[in-house]
Amino acid sequence: GGFTWLNDRFKEKEIGEGMVFDVNSLYPAQMYSRLLPYGEPIVFEGKYVWDEDYPLHIQHIRCEFELKEGYIPTIQIKRSRFYKGNEYLKSSGGEIADLWLSNVDLELMKEHYDLYNVEYISGLKFKATTGLFKDFIDKWTYIKTTSEGAIKQLAKLMLNSLYGKFASNPDVTGKVPYLKENGALGFRLGEEETKDPVYTPMGVFITAWARYTTITAAQACYDRIIYCDTDSIHLTGTEIPDVIKDIVDPKKLGYWAHESTFKRAKYLRQKTYIQDIYMKEVDGKLVEGSPDDYTDIKFSVKCAGMTDKIKKEVTFENFKVGFSRKMKPKPVQVPGGVVLVDDTFTIK
């Protein structure tokens, strides 16, 4: 998946001026130019040895690790009793971590962490090439950049949905309704159903290269980086960082678009932040501005699960962990049907 991370240094603090940049069509950009796998892999034992015919690999390792000083954490371990699934780890906590990593992710890990007691178990190596999707992406990128409205949205969908098809879950087991003992309606898993996977390694490497793009840009701005979310970096200050200054463009594939400049901001956790964004009027419309030319300020609230009505009550003063408001009643299954019960939204 995407790299979504909040720098602890800025967590729950009001921040002054900053900028947001995001990559134009991040995943299609990786599909366009990066080395990607094809064909049947070969299994290898131990540590991967360079093979020019099979230049990409996925390595199974066991190790302990500690984050290096001045580096962004890049490792998440899901479905483990030792670690939180959404947390980027600074340390393995004295435990031996069992990991399967693409060579792209493994090289990032070696750069960002000190590794101890490393054991290379086995892996898969792949043939690889570039340009597999060039014609497809050229076509839909042209349509996206020369169209408006529904056609532009269709082009975006065509570009962004393709990579996900390769890594779609082969488990398509559905849920079936049943009556619980108390008479309420419930749902349980039906008979196991599966479908053939498309080509999972393609999805693995596309997402690995996407993380690499975002993380390396953020690391190069380590003294300024506030937050990353898949294809975006949020920075303190209003100068374009050197690492991307030559690849900033609002439309070019894989370039960084200047999304906005904010006067102040506050970040609580992943996908939960507010900003006062500089705006200016152009041809009767408000668009993103700068400290030098702004005519208005837009208060922006990003918070998963928060309704638009509640967002109107948010301020810099009350935006904190524990913020709570009543929501519209939600439907709940009970014996004999459905009732509406009061619901509350709380930032935890």
Whichever domain contains 102, its CATH number is: 3.30.1770.10
Q: What per-residue confidence (pLDDT) applies to 9? A: 96
Q: What per-residue confidence (pLDDT) applies to 330? A: 85
Q: Render pLDDT for 12-47 as a digit per residue (tens, 0 to 9).
A: 999 999 999 999 999 999 999 999 999 999 999 999
3-state secondary structure of 170: coil
Q: Amino acid letter at 40?
A: E
Confidence of residue 310 (pLDDT cuts 50, 70, 90): very high
Whichever domain contains 293, its CATH number is: 3.90.1600.10
Q: What per-residue confidence (pLDDT) applies to 132? A: 93
Q: Are residues 227 and 311 in the same domain?
A: yes
Q: What per-residue confidence (pLDDT) applies to 170? A: 79
Q: Are residues 157 and 170 in the same domain?
A: yes
Q: What per-residue confidence (pLDDT) applies to 269? A: 95
Res 85 pLDDT > 80: no
Mean pLDDT to the nearest integer, 189-216: 92
CA dihedral 278, 210, 60, 64 (to 10 degrees): -20
Q: Are residues 156 and 125 in the same domain?
A: no
Mean pLDDT to the nearest integer, 239-252: 95
CA-closest candidate to residue 156, choices 166, 175, 134, 141: 141
Res 161 pLDDT > 90: no
pTM of the entire predicted model: 0.91
Q: Are residues 107 and 150 in the same domain?
A: no
Indicate the residue among 157, 178, 200 that finishes a domain: 200
The residue range of the domain holding 251 is 4-26+208-346
Indicate the residue among 111, 129, 147 that finishes a domain: 129
Interatomic CA distance for residues 195 and 173, integer angstroms: 10
3-state secondary structure of 143: helix
Q: What per-residue confidence (pLDDT) applies to 337? A: 81
Indicate the residue among 129, 156, 175 that finishes a domain: 129
* Domain count for the chain: 3
Q: What per-residue confidence (pLDDT) applies to 302? A: 97
Q: Render pLDDT for 314-323 as a digit per residue (tens, 0 to 9).
A: 999 999 999 9
Q: What per-residue confidence (pLDDT) applies to 119? A: 98
Confidence of residue 166 (pLDDT cuts 50, 70, 90): confident
Q: What per-residue confidence (pLDDT) applies to 47? A: 98
Q: Render pLDDT for 246-294 as a digit per residue (tens, 0 to 9).
A: 999 998 999 999 999 999 999 999 999 999 999 999 988 999 999 999 9
By percentage, how much of the chain surpasses pLDDT 90? 75
Q: Are residues 236 and 268 in the same domain?
A: yes
Q: What per-residue confidence (pLDDT) applies to 36? A: 98
Q: Are residues 95 and 121 in the same domain?
A: yes
Q: What per-residue confidence (pLDDT) applies to 306? A: 92
Q: What angle do CA 229, 231, 232 make, to 5 degrees?
A: 60
Res 89 pLDDT > 80: yes
Q: Are residues 324 and 240 in the same domain?
A: yes
Whichever domain contains 144, its CATH number is: 4.10.80.20
Q: Are residues 244 and 324 in the same domain?
A: yes
Q: What per-residue confidence (pLDDT) applies to 70? A: 96
Q: Are residues 142 and 227 in the same domain?
A: no
Q: Are residues 47 and 141 in the same domain?
A: no
Q: Are residues 65 and 156 in the same domain?
A: no
Res 187 pLDDT > 90: no
Res 128 pLDDT > 80: yes
Look over the chain and give the mean of its residue pLDDT values, rounded to a whole number: 93
CA distances, 33 to each of 28, 134, 165 (Å): 9, 8, 19
Which two structure tokens, joined as six digits, stand for 277? 């964004």
Confidence of residue 111 (pLDDT cuts 50, 70, 90): very high
Q: Are residues 294 and 233 in the same domain?
A: yes
